[in-house]
Amino acid sequence: MNPIDPAIEVHGAIWFQAGGRQLGGRDRIALLAAVAEHGSITAAARAVGLSYKAAWDAIDAMNNSAGEPLVSRAAGGKGGGGTSLTARGEQLVRTYLALEAEHRAFVSRLSATMGDDLHLMRKLMIRTSARNKLFGRVSAVRAGAVNDEIVLTLAGGQQVAATVTHESAETLGLAPGVEAFALVKASSVLLGVPDGPMRLSARNQLPGTVARIVPGAVNAEVVLALDGGHTVAAIVTQAGLADLGLREGEPAVAIFKASSVILGVLE
């Protein structure tokens, strides 16, 4: 299982409602708890970072939503009288704290069992203009004087080679075992059919099966399904489509240069 990505975490919040209206959440319960602790609206407001007026506005709103007082105030003027929670207010704070403890335990258990899904969610959030986004792990780094060749192994065992500057490789932290993704524009992908031996200078040649063809007036988008679940899309002319005799379910090869690949990593 992949470790839980620190950039994506499971969070939640508890709110009480009364009569369809929100009674309060963590901040308002914290205000009530501070009133119980300090016995003063002024001190409670200061403890939770509210003004005196904002604290009373919140308490009035809670009292109105609850339909009964949650806070009672003895006479004595501003800051001079004692303030305390009613029995209902005390019960509300106890209930919230108990629910919050259970909620934290639930979220902790959920996070512990959803590591792979959270990691996948982060991948799905990556948005780029490149049609092809291929995830894998770095399996080889071949250093050069200026450029490095990075080899990414996909889930199905296919390998994608990319040429990047040595500085970029260091900046991205590309090393064997590091998870990374390759971006390739559909316009950079050529298609071939494996009727016979193909000898090409392009570094990347990924065999697959034509999954679908989306025709257009001049060009067509051809999507190849690779082993392991990845797909590669290519833009070809209608004439090229006819010349190759590409049909859904037929084998084909996606071909693109290492220099056409952009690499990225999940931070």
In a domain, 101, yes or no: yes
Q: Tell whether 208 and 139 lie within a shared domain.
A: yes
In a domain, 184, yes or no: yes
In a domain, 122, yes or no: no
- Tally of domains in the chain: 2
Cβ of 178: how many Cβ atoms within 10 Å? 16
**CB of 68 closer than 8 Å to CB of 88:** yes
Q: Tell whether 140 and 235 lie within a shared domain.
A: yes
Q: Tell whether 258 and 137 lie within a shared domain.
A: yes
Kindly give the parts of the chain with pLDDT less than 70.
1-24, 74-81, 107, 109-129, 196-198, 267
pLDDT tens digits along 178-193: 988 899 999 999 999 9
Among 115, 147, 169, residue at a domain's last position? 115
To the nearest 10 degrees (0 to 180), the angle between helices 41-48 and 26-38 is 140
**CB of 132 closer than 8 Å to CB of 233:** yes
Q: Tell whether 147 and 248 lie within a shared domain.
A: yes
Among 80, 115, 150, residue at a domain's last position? 115
Q: Which domain holds residue 191?
A: 132-264
In 3D, which of 139, 255, 135 has the Cα closest to residue 207? 255
The whole-number pLDDT of residue 12 equals: 57
The whole-number pLDDT of residue 211 equals: 95
**CB of 256 closer than 8 Å to CB of 184:** yes
The whole-number pLDDT of residue 253 equals: 94
Long-range CB contacts (< 8 A, 24+ apart) of 51-55? 52/78, 55/31
CATH number assigned to the domain comprising residue 36: 1.10.10.10
Q: Tell whether 186 and 110 lie within a shared domain.
A: no
Quote the radius of gyration of the chain (alpha carbons, Å).
Answer: 31
Q: Tell whether 228 and 166 lie within a shared domain.
A: yes
The whole-number pLDDT of residue 6 equals: 45
The whole-number pLDDT of residue 158 equals: 93
82 contact partners, CB below 8 Å, separation of at least 6: 39, 40, 73, 74, 76
Cα separation of 201 and 196, whole Å? 16
DSSP H stretches of helix in the chain: 26-38, 41-48, 52-66, 87-113, 115-124, 166-172, 238-244
Instruction: Enter the pTM of the model.
Output: 0.56
